[in-house]
C-alpha cells in the first residue's frame, strides 16, 4: 500500500495543510446547563472560500406564466375547446351574453364538471359572465363576496 500512499501524496499533497483552517458551522445555541438554550451566538462569519456552495434550488414555476383566456361561445360544441384550456391550467373568462339560454345552461353545467374534476372553481362575476379557474389560481375580491352575500346573481 505504500505505492498507493505515495501516489495519493503526490496528487493531493500532504494532509497537514488544511488542519489550520476553521470552518464556522453558523450560529450555535448557548447552553446554560439547564437544558434550555438561551439564544444564538451573535458572531457570524463568512464561510471559507473553499466551502461555499452554489444554490441548486430552482423555482419550477418561474418559467410558467398564468394565462387567461376570454371565450364567447355560440354553440355547445365550443365546450371541448374551453375544457382543453382548463385542462392546461389556464383561467377562462366565459362570456355568455350572446349565447342561447339553454346552451348557456348546458355549457355552465359541463364546465362546472370540468372545473370540479381539475379541483378548480367557477364563479359568476356578472349577469352572464363566469370565471373558471384551475386549482392553482385563487379568486379573491370584495366584489365577489358582496355579490355572493347579496344573492344578486343567484
What spatial distance separates the first Cα and last Cα of the chain, rounded to whole Å? 86
What's the rounded Cα separation, in Å, for the pair 34 and 119?
51
Q: Where are the domains of the chain?
A: 68-150
Is the CB of residue 92 less than 8 Å from the CB of residue 110?
A: no
Is the CB of residue 115 less than 8 Å from the CB of residue 90?
A: no
Task: Name the β-bridge partners of 123.
Answer: 131
Question: If phi over 0 gives left and psi between -120 and 50 gives alpha, with beta otherwise, what is residue 139?
Answer: beta
Percent of all residues in the chain with a pLDDT value above 90, rounded to a whole number: 32
User: Which DSSP symbol is given to 23?
Assistant: -
Q: pLDDT: is 15 or 141 the higher one?
A: 141
Does the structural domain 68-150 have CATH classification 3.40.50.10190?
A: no
Instruction: Please state the rounded mean pLDDT for residues 4-10.
Output: 74
User: Which DSSP symbol is given to 78?
Assistant: G
What's the rounded Cα separation, in Å, for the pair 123 and 129?
9
What's the rounded Cα separation, in Å, for the pair 113 and 93?
16
pLDDT over threshold 60, residue 19? no
Q: How many residues does the chain have?
A: 154
Q: pLDDT: is 94 or 66 the higher one?
A: 94
pLDDT, residue 107, reads 94
Please report which confidence band the pLDDT of residue 137 belongs to, taking 50, 70 and 90 as the band edges.
Answer: confident
Mean pLDDT, the chain, as a whole number? 75
pLDDT over threshold 80, residue 140? no
Amino acid at each position: 500500500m505504500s505505492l498507493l500512499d505515495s501516489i495519493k501524496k503526490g496528487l493531493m499533497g500532504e494532509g497537514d495543510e488544511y488542519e489550520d483552517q476553521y470552518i464556522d458551522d453558523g450560529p450555535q445555541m448557548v447552553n446554560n446547563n439547564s437544558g434550555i438554550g438561551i439564544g444564538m451566538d451573535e458572531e457570524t462569519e463568512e464561510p471559507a472560500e473553499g466551502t461555499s456552495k452554489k444554490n441548486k434550488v430552482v423555482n419550477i414555476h418561474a418559467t410558467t406564466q398564468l394565462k387567461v383566456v376570454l371565450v364567447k361561445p355560440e354553440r355547445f360544441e365550443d365546450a371541448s375547446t374551453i375544457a382543453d384550456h382548463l385542462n392546461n391550467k389556464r383561467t377562462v373568462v366565459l362570456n355568455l351574453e350572446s349565447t342561447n339560454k339553454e346552451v348557456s345552461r348546458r355549457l355552465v353545467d359541463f364546465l362546472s364538471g370540468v372545473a370540479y374534476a381539475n379541483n378548480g372553481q367557477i364563479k359568476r362575476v356578472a349577469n352572464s359572465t363566469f370565471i373558471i379557474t384551475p386549482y392553482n389560481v385563487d379568486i379573491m375580491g370584495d366584489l365577489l363576496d358582496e355579490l355572493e352575500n347579496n344573492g344578486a346573481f343567484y
